[in-house]
Structures are given as structure tokens and as C-alpha cells.
Chain A
Amino acid sequence: MLVLGIESSCDETAVAIIKTPKTVLADIVASQNELHAPFGGVVPEIASRRHMENIVPLLNAALKKAGCTIDDIGGIAVTRAPGLIGALLVGVSFAKALSYAKQKPLIGINHLEGHLNAAHLEYDDISYPHIGLVVSGGHTSLYLVKEFGNYKLLGATRDDAAGEAFDKVAKLLGLGYPGGPAIDKIAPSGDPKSFKFARPKLNRGSRFEISELDFSFSGIKTEVMLKIKKMGGSLSKNDIINIAASFQYTVVDIISNQILKACVKYSCFDCVVSGGVAANSLLRKSLAKVCSENKLRLFLPSLSYCTDNASMIAFVGAKRLEAGLSDNFGIKACANEEIGVI
């Protein structure tokens, strides 16, 4: 069966077509270079209008690339939560209209569930249960994945997502946007131990406590801000590189430790890390080291499946559709919806 995936939860409009179980025939994101020309240089924009302008040309481009027509499609999977409501609505309304007009089954998918399953597109032997981390600009959430469709949220960020902290610290350091790649690039020439940043205090007993598998990155961001102030606001190139290196080291260390802690606590031998921050080279290195030292298997999707994409949505949708599940036109776009909250 061919399954169409549609993703429009935040900045990116994306369309994919997969052949079940998981052969990606087309995977197109509107800001990708191959579509640069027809869209006149799209920059990520949250405007729903932009998603609306993108979605039909994207679908046509995906059909062309997959070498099929809309009549060959056996089902439509669409991201319906969480995300920006206006942006989600474009994808959901479009998917409903297409489903109605072409009499194709429709299934709504949670964006986070898509990320958690993205690694399956490239790996065949991820065992259950495993630990899954979605780490991006908008999310830092840790899950126990008991089996497909059965998740338990173990912890998440209580303030800034990891990718957001990268962007904001990069801004404080005058490194520009996007901050993740900017810090990743200069950090290797700095000393990661030159600045000490306090780790978030877990379970400290206040009414605002955060649990042992939660994350918190805003305190480190605040410390960077205070350090820059203390230094009189003018930083040498060396200071910038050292702060970037120390910041990155701390964040990567926190993430690696939390994954390890979760694997130990839930006796998991496999872990899957997905989301844009999974592209960070120090994080990849650190996770590989931690996993090999502790006899864990690490699964990192390729970059195009780490960041927002529609193949992961089509993949999850295809599994549901093949199991005989589908949604009616009552499905709604929803801004906030965690998965695995028990």
C-alpha cells in the first residue's frame, strides 16, 4: 500500500509517500533546496498562509517523485498534534478534503509519535522495550517505548527545550541563527571545562520540583547571561569559544546521563534519539561513547529523518491503517498533546 504523509505542525510543510512497510518513495520539505526555485527561497515561517501556499505544490512534487497518482494512494496520514494550531489546521483540513474527495482512509498522527518512530525507517532490529528521546528546538522528551503505539513519558523539559537553549545561548554570544550548528562549529576549538555550569537540581523537594528523568536547560542559559554580564558585556573571541564549548559540553552531558539513567532504570538495551538536536556532533559522539561503555545499542536516524519530516508520519499512519484503524472527519488539530502521559 502507498501511504501519503502530511506534516505541517510548525515551521516546515512536508509531504512524503511511503510504500508499506517503510520504503520512502518521496520525502519533501518545503525549505529543502530541491524546491528552492519554485518557492522563491522559502525560509521557515510559521504563517499558516505559507503552509497553504506550499501544500499543493508539495503534494504534486511528491507524487511525481514517487511516480504515482493520487488514485494509487491507499491512505492519508496527517500530523494533527501538537504544534501551532493554525499550521496544523492547514495540514489536517487539506488531508480531510483529500480523503473526502478521493475516498481514501484518513489517520491523524501525533508529531512526537512520528519522531519516536523515525528510526524504524532505517533500522530493522530495534528491540522493545526501548528508551526514546525526542530532542529538538521545541521538545526534549524522554519515553519508555514498550511497543509500537505504547509509550510512557518518563520526563521532559521543565523550561527550555535543548535546541532552544542552543539558539538562545548562541544569541547571547552573538553567534547568529540557527544557534545549534553555530555552537557545534566553534565549540571543538574551546575548552569545555573552562566554565562550570550548575546542573539542574532534580527532586529537590520544592513544590516546583522536577523529577529525576526531567530536563531543565533554562538555568544554564541564565548562567551564561549572568557570566556575560559579569564580564562587562564585552567578550573576547576566546571567551565566546570557551563559553560555547562549556555550554555544549554541559547540555550534552545532561542528555547523555538522562538517557543512560532511563536505560538502567527500565532495563532497556536499545535507545533511539531523534529530533534536530540529534544532529549535534558532540551529542552523537557522547551518546556513542556512553552506549558502547554500557553495552547499549544506539539508533540515530539520518539528519533528514531527525528533523521534521512527513515520512515518519506516513510510517506511523501506515502501521495504524494496516491494522485496520482509521479516523473519521471528526479529528481535530490540537496545539498541546503529549503522548504517553499515564
Chain B
Amino acid sequence: MSSIIVTKSSDETREFAVKFAAGLKGGEVIALVGELGAGKTLFVQGLAAGFHISRKYYVNSPTFTILNIYEGGKMPIYHFDWYRLGSENECLDIGLEEYFDGKGVSVIEWADKFPKLLPEKTVWIKIDVEGEKKRRITVS
């Protein structure tokens, strides 16, 4: 089952993520898909706001750091970014399973690079660029 929503600004995209966060219970794996500039990191900022993670935490892109962990909210967010990773083995080196089975929510940017590594329970969120500010978000 999938649902589609269209947002007309970056704030609307974040607000959607805030609402989406309310339905999360822990242990979920969220795969984020979308081109450069689509708003994947933005979506995670919304999740963090939804979890009431302190604004002292900078929820920014983990492209270089590969994994950011935000604690202190409703539950931890494990924020991955596979943009720079070259192989499934490199992903596994990070200790993926530990996080996937952890009490927090795992969110993975560029998850479509290595779909085989994702568990069956994964929720896929695809962000398509429809216009300058317009985005179509498909949850499946």
C-alpha cells in the first residue's frame, strides 16, 4: 500500500516529516530516495523535530560522516547516508544490523544504492522534484 503527498515548500516537506514521525514506534527502517537537492536531509530534520530532539543537535547531512546519531528525543534517530559508499561490504562495516534492530529509527539517504541490505520491514520514501519548490513524496 502506498500513499502520495505533494508539498509546495521546504517547510511543508518538513512538516510532513513531523507528522510522519508521530506514527513511528521504534525499530523502523526508512529508506529515502531522491536526487541531489530533492530534500532527503530536510525530511530527516522534520523527523527530528517530530521526535522533539533538542535543537542543540544539528541535523545535517551525513554524506561525509556516513552516520549521524541524534539522541535525547522520543527515540534515537540513526541517520545514514550511502552516497559516498562504494559497495555493500562498506555498508556492512558500519554495523548496519545493530542499528536496524536497535530501539531507534534508522533513516537511510541514497538507500536505493544497496536495496539488498535493507530488511523486509523497510518503509520507502521517494521524493521527486516536480518544480522549484514542489515535491512529490511517495511512501510505500
B116 within 8 A of A: no
B45 within 8 A of A: yes
- Contact, CB under 8 Å: A161 / B90: no
- Contact, CB under 8 Å: A335 / B60: no
Do A226 and B41 contact each other (CB < 8 Å), given the known contacts A158-B58, A206-B11?
A: no
A338 to B59, CA, bound (A): 12
A95 to B59, CA, bound (A): 30
B5 within 8 A of A: no
Q: What are the residues of chain B within 8 A of A45 when measuring CB–CB?
A: 90
B63 within 8 A of A: yes
A45 to B11, CA, bound (A): 35
Q: What is the total number of residues of chain B having a CB less than 8 Å from a CB of chain A? A: 34
A49 within 8 A of B: yes
B107 within 8 A of A: no
- Contact, CB under 8 Å: B67 / A161: no
- Name the interface residues of B15-30: CB closer than 8 Å to any CB of A: none
- Contact, CB under 8 Å: B93 / A164: no
A221 within 8 A of B: yes
Nearest chain-B residue to A204 (Cβ)? B11
- Contact, CB under 8 Å: A46 / B85: yes
Q: What are the residues of chain A within 8 A of B94 when measuring CB–CB?
A: 46, 84-86
- Contact, CB under 8 Å: A47 / B93: yes
Q: What are the residues of chain B within 8 A of A338 when measuring CB–CB?
A: 56, 58
- Contact, CB under 8 Å: A208 / B11: yes
A157 within 8 A of B: yes
A54 within 8 A of B: no
- Contact, CB under 8 Å: A159 / B64: no
A127 to B89, CA, bound (A): 47
Q: What are the residues of chain A within 8 A of B93 when measuring CB–CB?
A: 46-49, 86
Complex partner residue of A221 from B37, B70, B85, B90, CB under 8 angstroms: B37
- Contact, CB under 8 Å: B90 / A47: yes
- Contact, CB under 8 Å: B14 / A225: no
- Contact, CB under 8 Å: B45 / A161: no
- 1/0 per position for A16-57, CB-CB distance to B under 8 A? 000000000000000000000000000001111100000000
- Contact, CB under 8 Å: A159 / B41: yes
- Name the interface residues of B40-58: CB closer than 8 Å to any CB of A: 41-42, 45, 49, 56-58
Nearest chain-B residue to A341 (Cβ)? B56
A308 to B94, CA, bound (A): 20
**What are 17 of the A-B contact pairs (CB < 8 Å)?**
A46-B84, A46-B90, A47-B90, A48-B93, A85-B67, A85-B94, A158-B58, A158-B60, A159-B60, A159-B61, A160-B41, A164-B64, A218-B37, A218-B41, A221-B36, A226-B37, A226-B132
